[in-house]
A and B are shown apart, each in its own frame.
Chain A
Amino acid sequence: DAKTTQPNSMESNEEEPVHLPCNHSTISGTDYIHWYRQLPSQGPEYVIHGLTSNVNNRMASLAIAEDRKSSTLILHRATLRDAAVYYCILRSARQLTFGSGTQLTVLP
């Protein structure tokens, strides 16, 4: 199964943009790139997904490298409520494979 690599932790100041990187060098042509986040003591929450083109939604933007070997989740203005573990996941045909994610700390 294709794997992802993320930094263990990152910090950001409130109301500043955050760029969360993810490497997935063994991605296959049919793998979608999904991002989820998990707040303390809660189930994961969908953030965004994409295949080849950059994507935007109300929560975040997803920038995908041209070779698809890496991607970046962009939170345009971090808030304290964005503090969570962020998972970058490759979605094969029927499964999501979670890694250990990036713990994002937002400083007031």
Chain B
Amino acid sequence: NAGVTQTPKFQVLKTGQSMTLQCAQDMNHEYMSWYRQDPGMGLRLIHYSVGAGITDQGEVPNGYNVSRSTTEDFPLRLLSAAPSQTSVYFCASSGGSRIERGASTIHEQFFGPGTRLTVL
């Protein structure tokens, strides 16, 4: 298994440009998510999905869109890049995401290697 893969590894954008960060997993995981990590900080959740066709917002969703048309892929779109979106972006997936009686049964999350994005 390749696990969680992300492309590109590095990207430089100009303010106002749009682009899509790709994320794919081959573990048949239902749960996928996107995080950003600013220098010296912990990760912050942008968007997540509990299955194909289902997405929801995390802590910092503004300026980003996601879709989940297949179980394997979870792309993150930057609509109009801003310097404040300069960050490292991590995609993650996990299995066993079905929620039962309010208690999480989500198992460990597997993270991709990250995409380092710079917006000028």
**Interface residue ranges, A against B (CB under 8 Å):** 30, 32, 34, 36, 42-46, 49, 87, 91-101
**What residue of chain B has the Cβ atom nearest to residue A30's Cβ?**
B103
Asked if B99 and A42 make an inter-chain contact with CB atoms under 8 angstroms apart, the answer reads no
**Interface residue ranges, B against A (CB under 8 Å):** 4, 31, 33, 35, 40-45, 48, 50, 56, 58-59, 90, 92, 97, 99, 102-104, 106, 108-114
Q: How far is the CB of A4 from chain B (nearest CB, A)?
A: 10
Q: How far is the CB of B92 from chain A (nearest CB, A)?
A: 7
29 CB contacts below 8 A, A to B, read: A30-B102, A30-B103, A32-B104, A36-B109, A42-B113, A42-B114, A43-B90, A43-B111, A46-B108, A46-B110, A87-B42, A93-B103, A93-B104, A94-B31, A94-B48, A94-B50, A95-B48, A95-B59, A96-B33, A96-B43, A96-B45, A98-B35, A98-B42, A98-B43, A98-B44, A99-B42, A100-B41, A100-B42, A101-B42
Asked if B108 and A93 make an inter-chain contact with CB atoms under 8 angstroms apart, the answer reads no
- A contact face: mostly helix, strand, loop, or mixed: loop
Q: How far is the CB of A7 from chain B (nearest CB, A)?
A: 14
Contact of B104 among A36, A44, A91 (CB under 8 A): A91
Asked if A30 and B104 make an inter-chain contact with CB atoms under 8 angstroms apart, the answer reads yes
Task: List 13 additional contacts besides A43-B4, A87-B43, A100-B42; criterion CB under 8 Å.
Answer: A30-B102, A42-B114, A43-B90, A43-B111, A43-B112, A44-B92, A91-B104, A91-B106, A92-B104, A93-B102, A93-B103, A94-B31, A98-B42
